[in-house]
Amino acid sequence: MQIPDGVDLLISHEPPRGILDYASASTTKVTNIGSHRLKKALGRLSHRSGSVGRRTVPRVHLFGHVHEGHGHKHRHGTLFVNAANANGGRATGLQHACTVLDLATDGSGDVRVVSS
């Protein structure tokens, strides 16, 4: 799996392993079920340096699939957003509203989560 340097928005179905990917296998066990391949591809970007002032990691990585992992976090220069809005486990209904992102138009590249 290859992700080009400097991508602004990366969208995937599943999260990378270890980032907003925890799911309940039972009432007592929680496990990370994200993609190992995606984690490795993002790791290669974060360890590569671009030309001076050039960003290599995605500005935002948007995904879903793991309902229990709904939310967002900043890590290694990327805003990770799990926008899954169904209930945990096998989906039977919606638990969360839409996730809204605000993208700055001033050239700063700032992105913030307005609601999730």
Q: What CA–CA distances, in Å, run from 19 to 45, 51, 69, 104, 105?
A: 16, 27, 8, 24, 28
Q: How confident is the model at residue 26 (pLDDT cuts 50, 70, 90)?
A: low
Give me the sign of the Cα torsion angle 18, 20, 25, 29.
positive
Which one is predicted more confidently, 89 or 20?
Answer: 20
Structure tokens at 36: 């190992």
- pLDDT tens by residue, 89-109: 788 888 888 899 998 989 888
> Domain ranges in the chain?
9-115
- pLDDT tens by residue, 34-91: 999 999 999 888 766 655 556 789 999 999 988 888 999 999 889 999 999 888 778 8
Which one is predicted more confidently, 57 or 28?
Answer: 57
CB atoms inside a 10 Å sphere around CB 62: 18
The whole-number pLDDT of residue 25 equals 62
The whole-number pLDDT of residue 91 equals 82
